[in-house]
Amino acid sequence: MMESGPMTGPVLTDGTAGEPPRSADLSGVPAKPNPTGEIGGTFWRRFVFRRPLAALILQRLGLSVGLLFAVSLMIFGGIEALPGDFATTYLGQSATPQAVENIRKDLGLDRPWSERYLNWLGGAVKGDFGTSWASKNSVSEQIGKRLGNSLFLAFFAALISVPLAVGLGMLAVQFRNRMPDKIINVISLAAISLPEFFIGYLLIMFFAVQWGVATFPATVYDSMSFTERLSAIALPVATLVLVVLAHMMRMTRAAILNVMSSAYVETAELKGLGTFRIIARHAAPNAVAPVINVIALNLAYLVVGVVVVEVVFVYPGMGQYMVDAVTVRDMPVVQACGLIFAAFYIFLNMAADILAILANPRLRHPR
Amino acid sequence: MPELLSVKNLKIEATSYPPGEPPKVVTLVEGVSFDLQKGKVLGLIGESGAGKSTIGLSALAYGRGGCRIIGGEVLLNGRDILKLDRSGINTVRGAQVCYVAQSAAAAFNPAHKLGDQVIEASLRHGLMSRDEAKQRALYLFRVLGLPNPETFGDRYPHQVSGGQLQRAMTAMALCPNPELIVFDEPTTALDVTTQIDVLAAIKHAIEETHTAALYITHDLAVVAQISDDIMVLRHGKTVEYGTTKQVIEAPKEDYTRALVSVRQAKRDEAADQSGALLKIEHVHAGYANGFKVLHDVSMHLPKGQTLAIVGESGSGKSTLARVITGLLPPSEGRITFDGKELPKALKGRTNDELRRIQMIYQMADTAMNPRQTVRDIIGRPLSFYFGMHGARKTERVKELLDQIEMGPRFLDRYPAELSGGQKQRVAIARALAARPELILCDEPTSALDPLVAEGILNLLLRLQEETAVSYVFITHDIAIVRAIADSVAVMHRGRLVRFGPKSKVLSPPFDDYTDLLLKSVPEMEIGWLEKVLRTRRMESAGN
Amino acid sequence: MNLRSIPLSAWIGIAGIAIAILCAIFAPAIAPYGERDVVGDIWLPAGGDFLLGTDNLGRDLLSRLIYGARTTIFVALAATVLSFSLGMILSFAAAVMGGFVDQLFSRFNDLMMAIPTLIFALVVLAVLPQHLWILILVMAVLDSTRVFRIGRAVALDVAVMEFVEAARLRGEGSLWIIFREILPNTLSPLLAEFGLRFAFSILFLSTLSFLGLGVQPPAADWGGMVKDNKDGIIFGISAALVPGAAIATLAICVNLVVDWLMKRTSSLKGGRGDA
């Protein structure tokens, strides 16, 4: 159940995976239409030629901003296009036409959707997501606190899972096709098949209910001290770690194996170098890019993984806020949360791309 | 004189994993023995799969991808290196014995500078100080004729050309002053005009440093230039082993004799080359990103004759084939077939126009759908163009199989069950099934072993006599051109350099490029390399 | 290919899937009680009349589990088949036609994939009325983006092969090229992908149901059963863990089969690699 990033596909390959550009036309540089249009063409081309690295990074940044804009359009406009009337939903099926009319006016649904979209987007850019239909409170205010809580959770999950995954991945490579590798393989295969909520409730059942060493539900509030917060999020963090670890480890293993089976590692072996030197000097610099890529992709997944985990642990974060809003069809909240989650996802995928570009010696040292 | 390297009764196995079956153990090398003295060069020659690389790597006690050395001895200065442990063998690898791979582009680490990689082994084995190693690298860069030797080491692998990388790899192997270097097809991936430079550089460098070498190649003409002794291998066994002079000039075994005499069948060119079945006029072509590949190319081909298009990689010869087929419409110019202009793009052509021009590819493996049987592969053009079905179709497929010298028992085989040569024959039958007037042959023999290739060429010649089909034959191999062409077009960097009847194009006066190309093709003659280099020196002295 | 070459892990997977499918098909015959019948007290422990105990309303957990297999497998399978057909047709069309069509499809696909699947589903399900077929459709459309990407990559791999070019040069139409030249050569990786998508669909459906947005009560479905019984966890009642374990087991079984299929594919490519 991996969510791979939107930009890891064909776009990435023209810079990192393919053979190095050997011909004079520098075909490794984006063959995409340049964003500045015809007039800027020669300038952009020259820039691409002289600073391919900067050009690629600029391109990824531009692409992400464009993507985010398109996503906002889809989250807002796409919903408009779907059947179902908000006002009717809001009031229930038995509402009188007059009441529906009033509520439409109240919520501003009588204005054309393009106008409402521009309003919404303008506000969103400034951090104002309007008013919740359900609670009549400012959405931004509500989100502010909860976003912090969610990030707190995701941060600690990342802090634990990243080193653990990379370490286990390297261990699996070291013992490739032997017992430790096979055990890690079977366990991780099982782990990626477990739904988040199952892991969550298993942990609650044992750690909180039977042995009483952890707290449930994982409520946090303002007056809590840092250590109290940490102990409150222990179980949710553990759940997230288990969810994301197997994927990250399997992908890390594959990335390192790919490098270890390359011809230049064989060359190093035939130079009579020691194992440590081969790994540190010849394999590691080339494995960094794919491993960083793996990590960033999994962090993107982590951001989404918090939704279910927050519901399981009744943790006051963005995910739970969004799910609650969806059940009562509180659209401003749903749209705001959707946009923020998508923004994080896009940003992390972009970071993965850019880090991979930066770690590629062929792009760092152009001809 | 004591032996530097003495290999005795070597036996090497590998485990293969055929899909859906339990793993199988295959013997790659069996009972191979040879001796190599200090400063001498032994050439190991054979087709792909003859086990020559595997033998070469055994000199470093290394088994690639699941190969295991299970028997015999590899004595280096009298010591069996197969019995050494990991740290023991590490004092041999990269110090006493070094390795030059076929693809230097893959064998260099993309993350480090060339200079650092060249001196790494010398430093790690404590053979010299960093300054000494750098001096030696500089010396080797000079000996190997690399450009700007002072700054060459500061560059990254992707920043230099393939020929330079191959020489840098040789420098890397020579740097620690090893007693033995294993060259594993070091020039195979290079163009023929680059190959001669690298070959000369390697020869010069190993003579200069008195290093012994195992030189592995499939090209007997190449190994004749560089080695003192030659061992001919086939299916992991020794066929013939002797001095270079004896093997080249007086081969004992039939197989060796066939290797030496390959491609001596010559055909006289047609006297009348006036008509034109295919006419290419002022064709320009390029790719969508604006990169232009062909510039103003014109040539023509009379009915029933063969036009050979010669050039190195990047010359545009394969692009020209794509233009003729319509896969890549030309941006300018026109192509006339049988007096009528062909629509530029594939989509604009009628099925009959498509039928009359067929194509044979270099890799028969990828040119045939692996999930179709020979019957389907050859039968499809029959039903597609002529609407044949059932028994009539089968009859015709059998006829075609006869024509390509394969029997009806191959009808229901899949491509994977055929040998390389058989696959190429089936591809020819598929082309013939359409009753074409022109067949485009894109290097149809270059992926095949020399003997098999010879058979395919003879088949093509015979079919031309029987059916009066015309060929456009794309190749980089001058020997093939000599053997089968009526007219020749030489291409270089997307331009036509020279075009005309074979006898005219291949005889002087030459233009510079054709001269270079013709002189670069190794000939099966001892001392050929020295002769070429001498002429070159004289010419440059004369200028 | 013979039966003996199938590894033990794949056999376990196949057996698990077979049991689940049998339960789904013959649910009324196997289940001791009805799907929606309240037969006892709430959250009765396992044993006695109720092999797995009862749920939060006093319904037999085992019976609901068996009926739940029906809903869960039906919805997940329907969504997978739909998403696979959609993704495959579009991706093969993109790969074969190339040019503008390819650009249009691919860029739109990139856009769809820029929003995490679960978030996308939450936003869309917030608006749409709650019907089973809408749920299936939403799951299928969202998942088809991933199928599209894989399908396009696989098809492009094959489409650049010379035998496809040879078919084009012969003058064959797009349909022949897709169905006779490309499809037979992509079956193995695509079969593995189908399994992967199916496993994902099971988990995704369960997650949606768990969040209250999937299959609606009183119909039994594994994710929903976890939601129904989750409040018992604090009292040490493990009723919620039973359907959770069922989801996990089925997903593991599917993944075991997929794992084997993938290894088989990579060895078909001739790679000795890392088998």
Domain residue spans of chain A: 51-125, 140-364
Please list the ranges in chain C whose pLDDT falls under 50. Answer: 1, 267-275
Decide if A285 touches B, using CB distance below 8 A.
yes
Give tens-digit pLDDT for B57-73: 999 999 887 788 888 89
pLDDT of B282 reads: 93
pLDDT of A19 reads: 32
CA distance C13 to chain B (A): 18
Q: How far apart are CA A43 and CA B474, in angstroms?
A: 40
Give tens-digit pLDDT for B272-282: 777 789 999 99
CA distance B198 to chain A (A): 19
* Closest among B290, C119, C147, C153 to A11, alpha carbons compared: C153
Give tens-digit pLDDT for A36-87: 444 445 777 777 777 778 888 888 899 899 999 888 888 887 666 665 566 6
Give tens-digit pLDDT for C132-178: 898 999 999 999 998 998 888 888 888 888 899 999 999 998 888 88
pLDDT of A24 reads: 33
pLDDT of A34 reads: 39
State yes or no: cis peptide before B186, omega within 30 of 0: no
pLDDT of A38 reads: 42
Inter-residue contact A89 to A134 (CB < 8 Å): no
CATH 1.10.3720.10 fits A140-364, yes or no: yes
Residue B349 to residue C171, Cβ atoms within 8 A: yes
| pTM, full prediction | 0.78
Decide if C247 touches A, using CB distance below 8 A.
yes
> Which of C122, C130, C148, C160 to mutate to probe the A interface, most A CBs <10 Å?
C122
Give tens-digit pLDDT for B236-268: 899 999 999 999 888 898 888 888 875 555 677
Give tens-digit pLDDT for B390-409: 899 999 999 999 999 898 89
Q: Which of A268, A270, A365 sits opposite B62 (nearest CB)?
A: A270
> How many CA atoms, within 13 angstroms, populate the side-chain half-sphere of residue C202?
29
Query: Which residue in chain A is spatially nearest to C260 when comparing CA positions?
Result: A189
Q: Quick one: what percent of chain C has pLDDT higher than 90?
A: 28
Residue C171 to residue B351, Cβ atoms within 8 A: yes
> Which of A79, A198, A235, A306 to mutate to probe the C interface, most C CBs <10 Å?
A198
Residue A263 to residue B106, Cβ atoms within 8 A: yes
pLDDT of C44 reads: 75
pLDDT of A288 reads: 83
Please list the ranges in chain A whose pLDDT falls under 50. Answer: 1-40
Encode burial over C262-274: b for 16+ CB neighbours within 10 A, e otherwise. Answer: bbbbbbeeeeeeb
Element (H, E) at B360: strand B357-360
Backbone dihedral angles phi then psi of residue C30, each to the nearest 5 degrees? -85, -40
Q: How far apart are CA B276 and CA B301, in angstroms?
A: 5
> How many CA atoms, within 13 angstroms, populate the side-chain half-sphere of residue B350?
5
Strands B180-184 and B212-217: parallel
Q: How far apart are CA A129 and CA A121, in angstroms?
A: 8
Query: Which residue in chain A is spatially nearest to C252 when comparing CA positions?
Result: A193
Residue C116 to residue A198, Cβ atoms within 8 A: no
Q: Which of A83, A195, A341 sits opposite C248 (nearest CB)?
A: A195
pLDDT of A27 reads: 34
Inter-residue contact B351 to C171 (CB < 8 Å): yes
> Which of A326, A330, A340 to mutate to probe the C interface, most C CBs <10 Å?
A326
Strands B3-16 and B67-76: antiparallel
Please list the ranges in chain B whose pLDDT falls under 70. Answer: 1, 17-23, 262-266, 289, 541-543
Residue A27 to residue B289, Cβ atoms within 8 A: yes
Q: How far apart are CA B421 and CA B443, in angstroms?
A: 13
pLDDT of B301 reads: 93
> Which of B13, B17, B24, B318 to mutate to probe the C interface, most C CBs <10 Å?
B17
- Cα dihedral B390, B392, B394, B399, rounded to 10, equals -170
Q: How far apart are CA B523 and CA B528, in angstroms?
A: 7
Chain C neighbours, 3+ Cβ pairs < 8 A:
A, B
Residue A325 to residue C126, Cβ atoms within 8 A: yes
Chain B neighbours, 3+ Cβ pairs < 8 A:
A, C
Whole-Å CA distances, B331 to A32, A322, B288, C70: 22, 56, 10, 61
Q: Which of B107, B125, B158 sits opposite A272 (nearest CB)?
A: B125
Residue A196 to residue C207, Cβ atoms within 8 A: yes
Residue A192 to residue C255, Cβ atoms within 8 A: yes
Q: How far apart are CA B220 and CA C203, in angstroms?
A: 61
CA distance C109 to chain A (A): 8
Residue B158 to residue A272, Cβ atoms within 8 A: no
